[in-house]
Structure 1
């Protein structure tokens, strides 16, 4: 079967891109002919898969793209964002059946242009795919979508080893950009009352780096917040094994892979309760934006190895549902459903 994944930018460091390359490699490994298309070229390419079994393309939305799509043959075109659906739907040949993903939550879509675009463009697709049952239901009810389906983000790998949860380290992972609100995580860490040997390690890079460094010093924890920069994907398992708690303080998220990866390594997490996808990953939920409540939960976990172990065991058990093979099975069930 031919499967095309189309992204606005397929090679920048980000959750949509990571999930796209993980699914592409997994489906290619099952014998499908898979293509990943970026409509724009990344200014800072990030390599997700060392030896891709799928084909990668960077092309605009003109004649070259039409020629590429027309030469692929029957199958499915999975468009990963509302902007890609809006730009690409009319260019698809009849042989490629259109599927629209949305990697955000209903609440996020409602607060920006995404909901209007989904209402305009997704009803005409063969399927509209969302990350959680909660979000699929909300889009079905409030965006009047007749074609919703639920498929979660997958875990790229299933680790055999789990964290000892003894290291005095809180971990945050993601782009250092405003929407991720790492300033809130720094503030929560500063107010948590964690033992003095505990540190907050932030993995990622972005335009907020300088501001976040200053914020950490203003909060009195500049010497305990470690900015690690970008870490290659193959080294991330070691980062989770060296962590005892993961914190996520984003303004909005769909289904963050960082929560799934932490859970698979037996690491408990704390997150603002911003979507059904976040809840499905099983962190300790905190009311969105409530930094003091986040600090209270975070502090309690730093002082209680027993509670960290209890939550870590539960998180790993929950993460089983997001193993790559299970999610690939779900995609193949969707394809079979559309064939009927």
Structure 2
């Protein structure tokens, strides 16, 4: 069958994009014809799969500047979709649903994903858009049972279903958890609130030679560097920049604790990846997805509570190992084959 994943931007460094390419490659390896469609070109494209077995398309060089440019882009997209065989079109965000739904031929069954939490949707325009557009789709897919239930109850969605993000690969080796390193992974953007992670690391009083390593790049880089200076830990906060996907496993193996201090999340892949490597995590409790994948949870925004839990894990290697083993066992549910099975069951359900 044909499976289309439609993203506003399919190639930026980000969780939605990583999950999309992972699912696309997995389904293609199972023999399906898979297409990843980016509505606009990324400014700095990131390569997620070295040898993709799926088709990749970019509709526009950037956001269409006027109605005429949008009409031309829509014609290109309609023509592409019209050439595909019967199957399913997975639109990965409310913006993608708005843009793509009206251009789909009848033989492509519409499925809407949402990669955020109910709480995040409620705090912005997403909830109103989901209420308006997702009920008319064949299926609405959310990242956790908790979020699917809340959208069904409070957004009156009759078609809500939970499917988690997958792990791209399952590591055979676990971290020894003996390196004096706390790890943060993600875009250095405001929503990730790495300033809170730096503050928590400083307040934890983690002794030398413990360090905080931040992997990723973004507009907040220099502000975070200055924040570490103000917190008195500039010499022990290492801004590593972006790391190729193939090299990330070594980063998890070299870490003893992962910190997640985002303003909001759906089901962050970084929690799954760290758990699969046996690395325990401390995270703000911001979504059902974080609760499903996270371990040590603290109230959202409570930096002092975060610092206390961080120090507890820094001080206790046996507790790190206990939590790390539990994290790896929990991560089994997110292995790629299990998630792909869930998608194929969803496709079968839609076809009935």
Alpha-carbon distance in structure 2 between the residues aligned to 1:299 and 1:214: 23
SS of corresponding position for 2:135:
coil
Q: Trace 1:95-244 onto structure 2 (pairs within 5 A).
A: 95-244=107-256
Match of 2:82 in 1: 70
Q: Is the 8 A contact 2:275 2:331 kept in 1?
A: yes
Match of 1:25 in 2: 25
After superposition, the C-alpha distances for 1:254-279 in whole angstroms (9 at most, x for unaligned) are 00000000000000000000000000
Q: Is the 8 A contact 1:152 1:255 kept in 2?
A: yes
Q: Is the 8 A contact 1:29 1:53 kept in 2?
A: yes
Q: Trace 1:263-302 onto structure 2 (pairs within 5 A).
A: 263-302=275-314
Give the CA deviation at 1:62: 1.4
Match of 1:333 in 2: 345
- Note the residue ranges of structure 1 that are not aligned, 5 or more in a row: none
SS of corresponding position for 2:350:
helix
Q: Is the 8 A contact 1:195 1:303 kept in 2?
A: no
SS of corresponding position for 2:234:
coil
After superposition, the C-alpha distances for 1:233-263 in whole angstroms (9 at most, x for unaligned) are 0000000000000000000000000000000
Q: TM-score scaled to structure 2, two decimals? A: 0.96
Alpha-carbon distance in structure 2 between the residues aligned to 1:62 and 1:123: 23
Q: Is the 8 A contact 1:282 1:318 kept in 2?
A: no
Alpha-carbon distance in structure 2 between the residues aligned to 1:204 and 1:120: 35
Give the CA deviation at 1:195: 1.6
How large is the Cα RMSD of the aligned pairs? Answer: 0.5
Alpha-carbon distance in structure 2 between the residues aligned to 1:192 and 1:309: 20
Match of 1:34 in 2: 34
- Note the residue ranges of structure 2 that are not aligned, 5 or more in a row: 61-72
After superposition, the C-alpha distances for 1:125-180 in whole angstroms (9 at most, x for unaligned) are 00000000000010001100000011000000000000000000000000000000
Alpha-carbon distance in structure 2 between the residues aligned to 1:42 and 1:101: 20
SS of corresponding position for 1:100:
strand
Number of residues of Structure 1 aligned to a counterpart in Structure 2: 340
Q: Is the 8 A contact 1:253 1:278 kept in 2?
A: yes
Match of 2:49 in 1: 49
